[in-house]
Structure 1
Amino acid sequence: MISVRAVKTGSIRIRPSHRAGRMDHPVWRRRLDMLRDRAWTEPLPIYTYLVEHPEGLFLFDSGETARTATKGFFPWWHPFFKLGVDIHVAPDDEIGPRLRTLGIDPDADLRAVVLSHLHHDHADGLHNFENTRIVVGDENWRASRGLRGTISGALPKHWPSWFDPERIAFAGPQAGPFARTHPITADGRIFAVETPGHMLGHLSVVVRADDTTYFLAGDATYDEKLLCDRVVDGASYDVATSLATLDAIAEFSRAEPTVLLPAHDPLAEERLAEKRPLHA
């Protein structure tokens, strides 16, 4: 049996122009819009997803940390962290405690942690998984390191000293509109696909259960409605690339019933409980 569980690790507010950017603006203007915006979205969940599979337990993303409330955690010089995010994560909200409440030892009971990308709210929980296989796309790994990574929203200075993930390339068989895949399980029922746009090398994970398919989308889109409306987030480095990703997810869902599970969609748990497929 294969199942998926949403595990919430706190919440985040972002600027409305971050959640849905002006698609007729160039990249620099879209990002300036995010900094000038003074409104906030409602608190959005920070979801990770736990997949139970006959080969073991797999976690998609590691969530955020309560240390974001500590002075100096974010780089003082970075305008996005000063102006663009409002994070609320209690110590018990972190992925380690959340998994322990489910009877899971985060550092012993998982077959792998797969990261959609290395932005802070997807990778700050890494310290819980020192002895666990951690998988990230090679392109995203290269884009997230050093000053370049920090500018783009990753926090490599907070990565654990032991962090040396398995960096994957995509050479597996085609899956619908996704030309290349990467198997996560030996039976091929969990596999990664390339979903760039929000960040270089962003990936998503497809889970084919017995009765439906789950698409663990990370930040490929912030919610189902945005995908259906073909609206790209303000952080995207390239609107055309992001739109191609949204269209590929929609095309994939038309070929097989697919439950869309982004990282910050307030309705994701409801759709998951009902196994309600995407209609795009």
Structure 2
Amino acid sequence: MIDKSKIKIHILRTGLVKLDKALPFHGQSRNPLAFTGLFRSEVNQLILPVSSYLIEHPKGLVLIDTGWHTNIRQGNWQELGLQTKINKGYLPANWAVNEQINRFGYSTSDIDLVLMSHLHSDHASGLELVKEAKKIMVSSEEWNIANKLPLVYLPGEWKNINIGTYEYNRQGIGAFNRYYDVFGDGSLLQLYTPGHTSGMSATLVKDIDKKYIILAADTGYTKES
């Protein structure tokens, strides 16, 4: 049962991803292919957390990103194909997004809205696990590019899933001065944060006391980046 008097944010670890450090810290490498990990030693590999967020909001239950699909447990090739050359996913037991939502006493059909920060595989792989959500949305910029770059994105991850788009139709907030107001009251904003992908969003959550938290997705992996 959602408490109508407050907003609660639950941090979900929905997997791990192993990749070459040149991907998040690309500015530190002169090798233009370093991010692929090809011909690079194991010492350059990092394991980073994959995060999703479950927001209990007075206007509905909101999920930000989906992490890895349970298919990744059977092997990376089945889920990622050639992308395994760049990154590898891990999903420990009970870490799948639907498994964690169930632990909070919800089912995936209870989710009012899934907001995708972007559609890279470590964020979108689990879309099928939450396809019963009432609505799934991503920015139109991200949607358009994600369906044109099949080697960078894996459109099969959202095949037969109903995904809507939104426009960054307001100005005045965020480094790029564009945002989408999810509920129309300033309490949940999708901020335009291009860079990691051209249509990526960070989520700003604000309570009635004007205090806020920004869920920054892959805008920065660590304090260093």
Q: TM-score, normalised by structure 2?
A: 0.86
**1:59 has 2:63 as partner:** yes
From 177, 181, 184, the counterpart of 2:182? 184
Q: Which has the higher contact order (CA 8 A, sep 6+)?
A: 1
From 145, 148, 170, the counterpart of 2:147? 145
Match of 2:50? 46
Q: Which deviates more from structure 2 when the two are superposed, residues 126-135 or residues 66-75?
A: 66-75
Q: 2:16 and 2:174 mapped to 1: Cα distance?
A: 33
Q: Deviations over 1:44-96 (max 9, x none)?
A: 211101112111211111111121244542454x3xx2332232113521100
Native 8 Å contact 2:121 2:154 kept in 1: yes
Q: Deviations over 1:83-141 (max 9, x none)?
A: 3223211352110011101111112x222110011111101111122232111011111
Give the 3-state SS of the residue equivalent to 1:43 in structure 2.
strand
Match of 1:260? none
Shift of 1:185: 1.7
Given the superposition, is the C-alpha separation of residues 94 and 23 from structure 1 closer, same or farther in structure 2, using an over 3 Å criterion? same
Shift of 1:24: 7.2
Give the 3-state SS of the residue equivalent to 1:123 in structure 2.
helix
Higher helix content, 1 or 2: 1
Could you tell me which runs of 5 or more consecutive residues in structure 2 were left unpaired when the two chains were aligned.
1-5
**1:12 has 2:17 as partner:** yes
Number of aligned residue pairs: 215
Give the 3-state SS of the residue equivalent to 1:196 in structure 2.
coil
**Paired AA for residue 202 in structure 1:** M
Give the 3-state SS of the residue equivalent to 2:101 in structure 1.
helix
**Paired AA for residue 14 in structure 2:** T
Shift of 1:182: 0.5
**Paired AA for residue 217 in structure 1:** A
Q: 2:35 and 2:55 mapped to 1: Cα distance?
A: 37
- Aligned residues with identical type, % of pairs: 23
Native 8 Å contact 2:54 2:62 kept in 1: yes
Match of 2:78? 73
**Paired AA for residue 58 in structure 2:** P
Given the superposition, is the C-alpha separation of residues 158 and 180 from structure 1 closer, same or farther in structure 2, using an over 3 Å criterion? closer
Given the superposition, is the C-alpha separation of residues 176 and 194 from structure 1 closer, same or farther in structure 2, using an over 3 Å criterion? closer
Given the superposition, is the C-alpha separation of residues 41 and 33 from structure 1 closer, same or farther in structure 2, using an over 3 Å criterion? closer
Given the superposition, is the C-alpha separation of residues 126 and 91 from structure 1 closer, same or farther in structure 2, using an over 3 Å criterion? farther
Native 8 Å contact 2:22 2:28 kept in 1: no
Match of 2:88? 86
Q: 1:61 and 1:105 mapped to 2: Cα distance?
A: 16
Q: TM-score, normalised by structure 1?
A: 0.70
